[in-house]
Amino acid sequence: MKSIIRKDEAAVSPVIATILMVAITVVLAAVLYVMVSGLLTPTGQGPRVMGVNIGRSGDGTNWTLLLTSTPSGLTTSAVKLTITTSGGLTSLSPTAFSALTSGAWNTNHAQFVGTGGTTIVVGDRVLISTTTYPSGYAVQIADSQGILYAHALS
């Protein structure tokens, strides 16, 4: 039987072997980077939640939602209030804070009282009629990125 392997042939030159090893190392490093970068959490502006204290006005005719914390940069035109019944039906469709004015009280039975102009800041309030929206109804405050606050009136 004749030998298939010849002794006078070289496999791969050392230069080609080095180039192949470097190329394989670069590809493996790129794959590892992509895998690890998917596991890392991005650093952002933190949680997007709004702190709210719910109470009643002195005469009991209104719910008072006092904003105790808020993400920065929220505007009255971007943030909307929604009120639903205890059964989950929409009682007040999503309405921008900028539309919750004293002039629109008879329509919405809710009013935004802000001190930051068109920016929402800590200390701003939302007044909601206790007659139109009794205990058990739920409020939701949201912007285009998601829900900032949701709670039942009580």
What is the spatial distance between Cα 128 and Cα 60, in angstroms, rounded to a whole number?
Answer: 11
Q: What is the pLDDT of residues 141-151, one digit of tens each?
A: 999 889 999 99
Give pLDDT, residue 14.
85
pLDDT digits (tens, 9 = 90+) for 36-78: 887 776 665 566 889 999 999 889 899 999 999 998 888 999 9
Q: Where are the domains of the chain?
A: 12-43, 51-152
**pLDDT confidence band for 5 (50 / 70 / 90):** low
- Residue 116 exposed, middle or buried by CB count within 10 Å (0-12, 13-18, 19+): middle
- Distance (Å, rounded) from C-alpha 99 to C-alpha 109? 11
Name the residue type at position 68: T
pLDDT in tens, 83-135: 999 888 999 999 999 999 999 999 999 999 988 788 999 999 999 999 999 99
Distances (CA, A) of 89 to 84, 92, 103: 5, 9, 25
Q: Which two tokens stand for residue 77?
A: 């035109």
Q: Which CATH architecture has domain 51-152?
A: Sandwich (2.60)
**Tens digits of per-residue pLDDT, 12-45?**
788 888 999 999 999 999 999 988 887 776 665 5
